[in-house]
Structure 1
Amino acid sequence: MRASFVNPTQLTKLLSSSVKEATGRELAIAGPVSLSVFPTISVKAEQVSLSNATWASNTNMLTLKQIELDVRLMPLLKGSIEIGRIGLLGLQMNLQTNQAGDGNWNLTPPSTEPGKAREPTSSGDTNSSAMFVSYSAIDIVDTQINYQDASQKTKVIQIPKLAIGISDGSSNILMDLKYANYTLGLKGKTSLLRNAIRDWNQSPVKVDLDLGLTLNGKLLAITGVIDKQLQKLPQFQINLNSKSFDLAPLAGSALVAGSAGKFSAVASPQSQEKYFFSDEALPFNVLPVADGIVNINIDQLELPGQAPFTNFKTTLQFKKNRIDANDLSFNVGKGSANVQFSIADLNAPSPKIFSKGLAKGFSVEQLLASTGSSSSVSGGETQLAWNLKGSGLSLHQLVSRANGVVQLSVGKGTVDTQFLNKGGDFVIALLNAINSLYKKTKIKMIWNVVLSLICL
């Protein structure tokens, strides 16, 4: 039944003023608005846009071809808003961070007076659950997210489909996502997400996970439980299992997420070229401050720019502001590594990292061949042991502040001098420093190195 007694123009003004008060942004509805009241209150609007931060490049932070909301009537009469379905079509989001690290998605409205907090809009009731908005189903079709960082580089993420529904007391999730040459899918079920969102920090929450994440067809099974008690950090035990998985796209996503909020690069792009190790800030701030365990068991793990790791296993222990891994192990070809590491003071200006381990059974020939190098290298049996500590936000800071012991043993091998030429003076200087007895011929260089390095 269509509500002819409701003036669409007045409804648009009401929605716009409410959004303006809540976010400080302008909501514009250029297309038609329709309303029906039976069996649910259904609102449909077309050509919707939300204005951007004043410093952002685009006029609008988001635009929508169409939005549909089905609001259930009985819960509304009891003072709560329960949305049966949210439907979004043609959503485009223009996300951006500025030089200060501010994200344009921060929708906190400005205070009316400097230093004075905004007063509650309800009559003295600040309980967030008094007017909680819940939902039963979300359908989002044809979404594009444009992310622009402070260096003006833009990343484009497409989400052809995102659906969240309810069945047999669980939330069913289905998502397809495309980024660069990567295709990501998420499918599975969890405990009711709407209840978890509603009860978070209001009453105890337990969420069971049974999901499958695919990256370019490679499946990562995610199972476990998240337990949130009142006035305590979330506790979780999560298991990640896969036959083969590629971390490259997730690493890129972490760098995007790391730009959120107040997270800026350690140095400008121009200054980064001065250092052998990058001075770009690592995304420490995306690591969760929580209490829990993540068990990882991946038969073959692909890493950006590295040879694949096989039999990758570890248990990550999250202890509030610290993450420990005491049993990380993996193989690369015939070689194996056993590592311990910890990251402490995650949200401090200079996080601390400790690592020690032993890698053996490798050869220079094997490592270069596994990365696809065409250089003529043979032999070079290698063993590496280390015990290091460092602090900082970037690789450059971590290496420059590192202290501890590194012991490297490299056996007899040969390498084409053209390969050394490509490496530049750094490789020559390093070989001169660690082995003054190498024999150089016109074609090949032979070395026999035992190195013990102390970083002061």
Structure 2
Amino acid sequence: MKLIIRVVTALVLTVVVLAGLVLLLPGEKIARLAADQLETQTGRKLAFGGKVRFTFWPTLGVKADAVTLSNADWAGPEPMLQAERLTIGVAAAELLQGDVRVTEISAILPHLNLATNEDGIGNWVFGSGAPASGGPAASSSGALPLRIEAVDLTGASLRYAAYGEAPVEMKNIDLSLLWPEPDGTVNARATLRPAGEPVEVDAEIGTFAAFLAGKVSSIGATVTAPGGKGRFDGHADINGEASGRLTFGADDALQTGVALGLALPDALAQKTVFGADVTYTADGRLSMRDLAVELGGNKLTGAADAEFNKRPEITAQLRGGALDFSALAGGTGSSGSGGAAAAGWPKGAIDASALGLADAVIDLSFDSLNTGGVILGASTLNLTVERSRAVLKFLPASMFGGQVRGQLVANNRNGLSVGGKLSFNGIRLERALGETAGYSRLNGEALGELEFLGAGNSADAIMRSLNGKGWLEAGKGFFTGFDLEQLMRSGGNGGSTVFDQMTASYIIDGGNLRNQDLLVLLKGFRAEGKGRIGLGARDLDYLFIPQLVRAGSDQVLTIPVRITGPWENPDIRPDLSQALQPKIDEIEQEAKDRVRQKLSEELNTEIAPEQDLNDVLKQRIEQEARDQLLKLLGGD
């Protein structure tokens, strides 16, 4: 019992003596020892511009105000770290031996000034040419990573300048880091607020000393933001190279994107799932394999590569099932953007700046696609974007009930222009015209070609500037809104006109489609047509000329039909002036023939059809006058 009391007493006295020795050490001296130790390990200078005082509880060490940690030589004169207040914790045992082992650094309102150099090395990679004995193993270059058992930053601000890129700044960051074993794992937790809402990052970095020395280490990180969560498991180094599996899931991708400071369309306010095996290199190359994306009910699989240069370059091969992106276009399906309002085409400015965000080559195949304006069936597409010019190729595309081949072009290099060169086969005219132009009165299955070009900063301007050409042929079909047979009988509107065949060619000039050779074959008669279709003004001025052959007779009845007015409500009526003109011409010719015959009898001479009757009469009068004058003068 006496032995136990003596041992306890000795331990208490030892603690009292140790505490007394620590309390006798001035704060400035501990701070200086810590600063010297940091400079030995890192090559950086730790300076104290304010009051320095010793602390015993809760941290053994010092507190200092107005603290700065110098930057790498190549990173400029600005300190890498500035803090209103810095607490440095030290190990008591080493302190009693005149050495300082930093166990903790905590800072209030620190500012981190981070950057990378041309080789991709960050200024946070600490090192000196003469590492301290017993410290962590140095890298091959002799640089020695700093080991601090715990770091705690509260209310931090950050400025990050990657070499050759615009700096990124963030504020109100909280960071804690635990590194209990020199050769062990670091657990880090950070709270970022890029757009105000907190974004939590939890990470584990294996063999952290080797990681700081530039070696590849195992990495696991979880990012949790409002509405969604992402996870990375793989390997990385301090220069940013990484490979592993990246996954992301969100019940509301829009909410998550807003929290991360991203500008996303409202249509992304839906469930999103992403997964890929990723590899990222320090020179800005990203590859994604075994890629799977789910947005709402849309699923895509495939692979993609990206190079993050001044203008990113993207290459991807994607495959989808039944895709519906009508919400992204703000449309409601097949009746979407193709049909303009009755007042005309939209006149709002088109923002085509997205064409300049990146260059891309994307191959996409799918079972079906609803764009919000046009619905496609099983198709293969290729999209190429280069310097604000996009080319979409149909290889082919199932569209409007048939197939379309060719390409569409949008060019925003010097103002916006759109064009295309397409061939089509088996398309339904009511769908093609309805989904692209809001006109659904013509029905039938057609083949043909179309070439067009337009320019302007709005849909209205583009449609009014269109130029091009094309042709089409259609089998059985019908026009709605008028019945040619009824029009020819009674002059009424309404009903439908069924045809067996239709052919036409056309040119487009200044937003007007002009046609001179329309031929429509109908049961019992045929119709020709010519006129103008206003693609920009959305109006018509067209003349149908049907010819009806009466049964058992060779007589032909012709009553032209003129269609004028807006697409939505055209005026359709017989054109009697055109109908009477052939009859008037026929009566006039018959009268001329009778006069010619009578003159031939009276003048006793043959008058050819091509001779002018006035000239014949003039010549006969002159001849009679000449004969009478000769008789008067006694001539023969």
Q: What TM-score, normalized to structure 2?
A: 0.42
Which of 316, 329, 333 is 2:276 aligned to? 316
User: Contact (CA 8 Å) 1:173, 1:186: kept in 2 or not?
Assistant: no
Q: Which residue in 1 is equivalent to 2:227?
A: 218
Asked if 1:245 is matched to 2:253, the reply is yes
Shift of 1:356: 4.0
Q: Is 1:185 aligned with 2:199?
A: yes
State the SS of the aligned residue for 1:368: coil
Amino acid at match of 1:62: L
Please say if 1:161 is aligned against 2:174. yes
**2:28 is equivalent to residue 8 of structure 1:** yes
Which of the pair has more CA radius of gyration? Answer: 2
One of 380, 383, 394 as aligned partner of 2:376: 383
1:340 partnered with 2:302: yes
- Residue type of the partner of 2:175? L
- 1:190-230 CA distance string (max 9 Å, x none): 65x5x641365899976666x4602xx323154x754689x
Secondary structure in 2 matching 1:323? strand
Seen in structure 2, the aligned counterparts of structure 1 residues 206 and 31 have a Cα distance that, compared at 3 Å, is: same
CA distance in 2, matches of 1:380, 1:69: 64
> SS in structure 1 opposite 2:67?
strand
User: Against the structure 1 CA distance between its residues 152 and 40, is the aligned structure 2 distance closer, same or farther, given a 3 Å change threshold?
Assistant: closer
- Matching of residues 61-210 of structure 1 within 5 Å: 61-73=80-92, 83-95=102-114, 106=123, 119-122=129-132, 127-128=137-138, 133-146=146-159, 156-164=169-177, 175-179=190-194, 181-186=195-200, 193=205, 196-198=207-209, 200=211
Residue by residue over 1:265-299, the C-alpha shift from the partner in whole angstroms, topping out at 9 and shown as x without a partner, is xxxxxxxxxxxxxxxxxxxxxxxxxxxxxxxxxxx
101 and 306 in structure 1: CA distance in 2 versus 1, 3 angstrom threshold:
farther
Pick the aligned partner of 1:440 from 535, 538, 541. Answer: 535
Query: Is residue 365–residue 380 contact of structure 1 (8 Å, CA) maintained in 2?
Result: no
**Aligned residues of 2:298 and 2:322 also touching (Cα < 8 A):** yes
Quick check: 1:44 aligned with 2:63? yes
Cα distance between partner residues in 1 of 2:216 and 2:74? 40
- 1:423 match: 458
Change (3 A) 1:213 1:313: closer
Q: Is the 8 A contact 1:79 1:131 kept in 2?
A: no
Post-superposition offset of 1:52 = 5.8
* Structure 1 residues 59 and 238, CA gap change in structure 2 (3 angstroms): closer
Report the CA distance between 1:368 and its aligned residue: 3.1
C-alpha distance in 2 between matches for 1:327 and 1:133: 38
Describe how 1:28-43 pairs up with structure 2 within 5 A: 28-35=47-54, 41-43=60-62
Instruction: Work out whether residues 381 and 396 of structure 2, in 8 Å CA contact, stay in contact via their aligned partners in 1.
Output: no
Q: What pairs with 1:361-380 in structure 2 (closer than 5 Å)? A: 362=324, 367-369=329-331, 377=340, 380=373
Structure 1 gap segments, 5+ residues each = 111-117, 254-302, 447-456
Aligned CA-pair RMSD: 6.0
Q: In 1, distance between residues paired with 2:39 and 2:67?
A: 12
Determine the C-alpha separation between the residues in 2 that align with 1:433 and 1:331: 38
Distance of aligned partners of 1:221 and 1:35 in 2 relative to their CA distance in 1, 3 Å threshold:
same
Give the aligned residue type for 1:440. Answer: L
Between the aligned partners of 1:343 and 1:422, the Cα distance in structure 2 is 32
Q: 1:147 to 1:243 in 2, by over 3 A?
A: same
Question: How many correspondences in the alignment?
Answer: 363
Which structure: greater strand fraction?
1
AA paired with 1:140? L
How far off its partner does 1:72 sit? 2.6
Do 1:52 and 1:61's aligned partners in 2 also have CA atoms closer than 8 Å?
A: yes
1:107: Cα distance to partner?
Answer: 6.0
CA pair 96-396 structure 1, distance change in 2 beyond 3 A: farther
**Distance of aligned partners of 1:367 and 1:415 in 2 relative to their CA distance in 1, 3 Å threshold:** farther
Q: Is 1:413 aligned with 2:401? A: no
Quickly say closer, same or farther: Cα 1:405–1:357, change in 2 above 3 A.
Answer: farther
Secondary structure at the residue paired with 1:307? Answer: helix
CA distance in 1, matches of 2:467, 2:152: 63
Tell me the amino acid that sits aligned with residue 380 of structure 1: G
Distance 1:128 1:150, change over 3 A: closer
2:252, 2:271 within 8 Å by CA — same for their partners in 1? no
Which residue does 1:355 correspond to in 2? 317
Distance in 1 separating the partners of 2:76 and 2:83: 18
Q: Deviations over 1:148-169 (max 9, x none)?
A: 78999775422253334699x9
Structure 1 residue matching 2:172: 3-state secondary structure: strand
Distance 1:62 1:424, change over 3 A: farther
Q: Distance in 2 between matches of 1:184 and 1:33?
A: 33
Distance between the aligned counterparts of 2:81 and 2:319, measured in 1?
A: 48
Mapped to 1, the partners of 2:126 and 2:28 lie a distance apart of 26
Worse-superposed segment, 152-161 or 399-408: 399-408
Residues 81, 317 of structure 1: alpha-carbon distance in 2 compared, 3 angstrom cutoff: farther
CA apart distance, 1:80: 11
Deviation at 1:141, TM superposition (A): 1.3
Secondary structure at the counterpart of residue 367 of structure 1: coil
Instruction: Confirm or deny: 8 A CA contact 1:361 1:383 kept in the other structure.
Output: no
Deviation, 1:30, is 0.6
TM-score using structure 1 length: 0.54
Q: Match of 1:317, SS?
A: strand
Higher relative contact order (CA 8 A, sep 6+): 1
Question: Residues 107-154 of structure 1: CA distance to partner in whole angstroms, max 9, x if unpaired?
Answer: 6799xxxxxxx8444579993289775455432212122457899977
Q: Which amino acid aligns with 1:328?
A: A
Deviation, 1:344, is 6.9
Summarize the Cα distance change of 1:146–1:366 in structure 2 as closer, same or farther, 3 Å threshold: closer
Code of the aligned partner of 1:143: A
Q: Is the 8 A contact 1:364 1:381 kept in 2?
A: no
Once residues 94 and 203 of structure 1 are traced to their aligned partners in structure 2, the CA distance between those partners, rounded to angstroms, is 23
Give 1:87 deviation, angstroms: 1.0
Do 1:52 and 1:104's aligned partners in 2 also have CA atoms closer than 8 Å? Answer: no
Q: Could you tell me which residue of structure 1 aligns to residue 579 of structure 2?
A: none
Taking a change above 3 Å as real, the CA distance of residues 178 and 377 of structure 1, as seen in their structure-2 partners, is farther
**Residue 304 of structure 1: CA displacement?**
2.1
- Deviation (angstroms), 1:357: 4.0
Show CA shifts across 1:341-390 (max 9, x none).
3217889x9967233445865577871348xx999858732339556597
Secondary structure of 1:86's counterpart equals strand
Query: Is the Cα contact below 8 Å between 1:187 and 1:213 reproduced in 2?
Result: yes
